[in-house]
Amino acid sequence: ITILVNLVIAAAGTNSEYCDASTKSCENEIETADSKKLIFYDVNPPEGFNLRRDVYMRFAIMISEAQKRGKSNWELVLPPWYNLYHWKTDRRTQTPWSQFFDLKALQSFAPVVEMHEVFSRSKKKTLEIDTLYVLENFEDAFENGVFEEKWEVLGECSYDGQFWGYKNITAKEVLCVKFQGKNSKLWELVSLHPHNTKIMFAHGEIPLHDTYGTKTYWDCRKSMKFNSNLVKIAKKYISKYLNCDSDQCKTYLSVHWRRQDFARSRGNDVPSITGTVKQIHKALKKLPNTKKVFIATDASMSELNNLEKELSSLGYEIHFFLPSSKMIEEFGDGGIAIIDQIICSHAVHFIGTHESTFTFRIQEEREILGFDSSTTFNRLCPDTGRCERMSKWTIVN
Ligand code: GFB
């Protein structure tokens, strides 16, 4: 009887479905009675760094809004950066968010926790997700001509993802779900298993923003402050090479010149090297006191050299951030990308690449810094054909 009572108490304390009398271990074990429930997510592997930053915001807002409504026992696990398609350095190591962002600032908006922290809290070496929902799109988003928020559990299936490269993470139950709607609608899936403490969503890019462009959106965006080491490096560079020590610099124009796979897959949206030079020259003619140009790019060195040659011949001073191999090793491709973004965000005038999420994040940074939007929402146009204006997503304070 004593054993039975103890186990019932243990089960109540741990939220367990059931316990095993001989080993005294509980199924669905949680370390303490008041420990948090965890939401994990992953993103379609080919998606890049800056779309992933947006997916994070959708989940952070989902958790933070639920917290305001009394659901205070959920934490969002920050998915380690792992094996990103565009990153060439150290792809196979799980990089924590603190390498790129200020964790305290992220936590000021939503209850988020690093994956390594989840492991170090537990006495176990393995982590078992209770239910993993593999999200997929409905074939027709506008069935009968209307976009309706909906989901449909298709049943058990297999997960073809990588659990961020961890071999010691498994899922007890994997369910495929067709999903269409905002992130907050995921709570309906969560409530299907009220006893679960670890829920994961694969293809976290499928749910949509609950509040795109609102004050909540911008509060979340503002909380995504960069790691202070990256900020220091960028500011030192701006001071030394671009002669500016303030937040809004008058001394240089910046350009995000996206090339590589982007130029290949969206050839109609990007200009040639000569076309790029012409457009930078045109913008600089309106800024008679600015002769310095900062280029952030993923272009090859030979493309960059050609661009530099053509711009220099017009009397401009061209700058780009060339990290040492030690710096690349320390901060990774993501850290170098952020340094480029910070430098672009402080320039008197910015020209970006159409529909690049890398450009979008720079534009948001400039909105936070208080630049006039006419200096921010500018794009490089193709050499010929239409050049659609950029949408202006201005800050709401
Ligand atoms: O961030 P991202 O996904 O934006 O760009 P898009 C992909 C990666 O390219 C970044 C590198 O994580 C960087 O590693 N990169 C791009 C840069 N521009 C720069 C730059 O100026 N400086 C530095 N240092 N790195 C989309 C992808 O990229 O492009 C999609 O997300 C797809 O998956 C599409 O590939 C064609 O939105 O530009």
pLDDT by 10-residue block (mean), the chain, 397 residues = 32 34 37 71 96 98 95 94 90 92 98 96 93 97 91 97 97 98 98 96 98 97 98 98 98 97 89 97 96 97 96 97 94 96 98 97 98 98 93 95
Mutate to test the pocket of ligand 1, among 233, 258, 261, 269 (most ligand atoms within 8 A of CB): 258
Question: What is the pLDDT at residue 76?
Answer: 98
- Amino acid, single-letter form, for residue 378: N
Question: What is the pLDDT at residue 21?
Answer: 37
Neighbours of 166 (CB within 10 A): 15
Q: Answer yes or no: is the C-beta of 292 below 6 A from any ligand 1 atom.
A: no
Question: What is the pLDDT at residue 91?
Answer: 77
Q: Answer yes or no: is the C-beta of 45 below 6 A from any ligand 1 atom.
A: no
Ligand 1 center to residue 126 CA distance, Å? 33
Question: What is the pLDDT at residue 138?
Answer: 97
Report the number of secondary-structure helices (H) and strands (E) in the chain: 12, 11
* Residue among 93, 99, 98, 110 at smallest CA distance from 56: 110
Q: Which atom of ligand 1 is nearest to the CA of 50?
A: 1
Q: Answer yes or no: is the C-beta of 171 below 6 A from any ligand 1 atom.
A: no
The answer to whether residues 74 and 111 touch, using CB atoms and an 8 Å cutoff, is yes
156 is catalytic: no
The answer to whether residues 378 and 201 touch, using CB atoms and an 8 Å cutoff, is no
| Among 27, 29, 31, 47, the one annotated catalytic | 47
Tell me how far apart the alpha carbons of residues 261 and 353 are, in angstroms, rounded to a whole number. Answer: 13
For the chain, the residue count is 397
* Residue among 90, 85, 76 at smallest CA distance from 49: 85
Question: What is the pLDDT at residue 305?
Answer: 97
Q: Answer yes or no: is the C-beta of 340 below 6 A from any ligand 1 atom.
A: yes
Which residue's alpha carbon is nearest to atom 12 within ligand 1? 49
